[in-house]
Chains A and B, each alone.
Chain A
Amino acid sequence: MSNPTFNIDVHYLTRVEGHGNIKVDVKNGEVKECVWEIPEAPRFFEAMVRGRSWNEVATITSRICGICSIAHTFASLKATEAAMGIQLSKQTLKLRKLLLHAENLQSHVLHIGYLALPDFAGVKSVIPLASSHSQEVLTVVRLHRLANELCDLVGGRTTHPNTTVVNGFTRLPDAKRLKEFQDKCKNSFGDLRAVATLLKALSKNIPAFERETEYIGLTSKEEYAIYDGQIGSTDTGVHPVDEYRTIVNEYVVPQSTAKYCKHNRDAYLVGALARFNLNYDQLSPVAKEIAADLGLKAPCYNPFMNTVAQLVECVYSVEDCIRLIDEVLADGLKEEDRSFAIKAGRGVGVVEAPRGILIHDYTYDDKGICREANCVIPTNQNHANIQKDMEALLPGIMNKSKEEITLHLEMLGRAYDPCISCSTHLLKVEFV
Chain B
Amino acid sequence: MGIHLAQALEQMSLPEGVRVIDGGTGGLSLLYALEKTGKAIFLDAAEMSKDPGTFMRFTLEEARIAGDKLNLSLHELGLHQVLELAKSLGISCEVVFYGIQPKDLDWGIGLSPEVEQAIPHILDAVMREVQGLLP
Contact = CB atoms under 8 A, between A and B. Distances in A.
Contact of B31 (A17, A19, A134, A141): A141
Given A66-B25, A148-B29, A127 B84 contact: yes
The winner among A19, A114, A131 for most chain B CB atoms within 10 A is A114
Nearest to A419: B75
Contacts of A144: 28
A17 B25 CA distance: 12
Interface residues of A, number: 25
Interface in A87-121: 110, 114-115
Contact of B76 (A114, A138, A145): A114
A115 B85 CA distance: 13
A12 B76 contact: no
Interface residues of B, number: 18
Contact of B71 (A12, A67, A137, A138): A12
Contact of B24 (A17, A137, A159): A159
A114 B37 CA distance: 23
A148 to B, nearest CB: 6
A17 B74 CA distance: 7
Nearest to A152: B29
Interface in B81-125: 81, 84-85, 88-89
A62 to B, nearest CB: 12
A83 to B, nearest CB: 28
A234 interface: no
B89 A114 contact: no
Contacts of A141: 31, 89
A145 B32 CA distance: 7
Contact of A158 (B29, B81, B89): B29
A421 interface: yes
A114 B24 contact: no
Of B32, B71, B74, most A-chain CB atoms within 10 Å? B74
B127 interface: no
A421 B85 contact: no
A127 B84 CA distance: 7
A127 B81 contact: yes
A126 B78 CA distance: 12
A66 B74 contact: yes
B77 interface: yes
Given A130-B85, A134-B88, A138-B89, A114 B74 contact: no
A130 B25 CA distance: 22
B39 to A, nearest CB: 21
Contacts of B29: 148, 158-159
Contacts of B31: 141
A113 B29 CA distance: 14
A66 B32 contact: no
Interface in A1-46: 12, 17, 19
Given A66-B24, A66-B25, A159-B29, A131 B75 contact: no
A125 interface: yes
Contacts of A138: 89
A421 B74 contact: yes
A127 B74 contact: no
Contacts of B71: 12, 19
Interface string A193-236: 00000000000000000000000000000000000000000000
B100 to A, nearest CB: 22
Contact of B75 (A12, A66, A137): A66
Interface in B49-98: 71, 74-77, 81, 84-85, 88-89
Interface string A139-162: 001001100100000000011100
Contact of B28 (A12, A110, A421): A110
A148 B81 contact: no
A159 B32 CA distance: 14
Nearest to A113: B28
B19 to A, nearest CB: 14
Nearest to A109: B28
Given A17-B76, A114-B76, A114-B77, A131 B24 contact: no
List the 3 closest A-B pairs by CB distance, nearest first: A130-B88, A66-B75, A66-B25
17 contacts: A17-B76, A19-B71, A66-B27, A66-B74, A66-B75, A67-B76, A114-B28, A115-B76, A126-B77, A130-B89, A131-B88, A134-B89, A137-B89, A138-B89, A145-B32, A159-B29, A421-B75
Interface of B: 24-29, 31-32, 71, 74-77, 81, 84-85, 88-89
Given A66-B27, A141-B31, 11 more contacts: A17-B76, A66-B24, A66-B75, A110-B28, A126-B85, A127-B85, A130-B85, A134-B89, A137-B88, A137-B89, A421-B75
Interface of A: 12, 17, 19, 65-67, 110, 114-115, 125-127, 130-131, 134, 137-138, 141, 144-145, 148, 158-160, 421
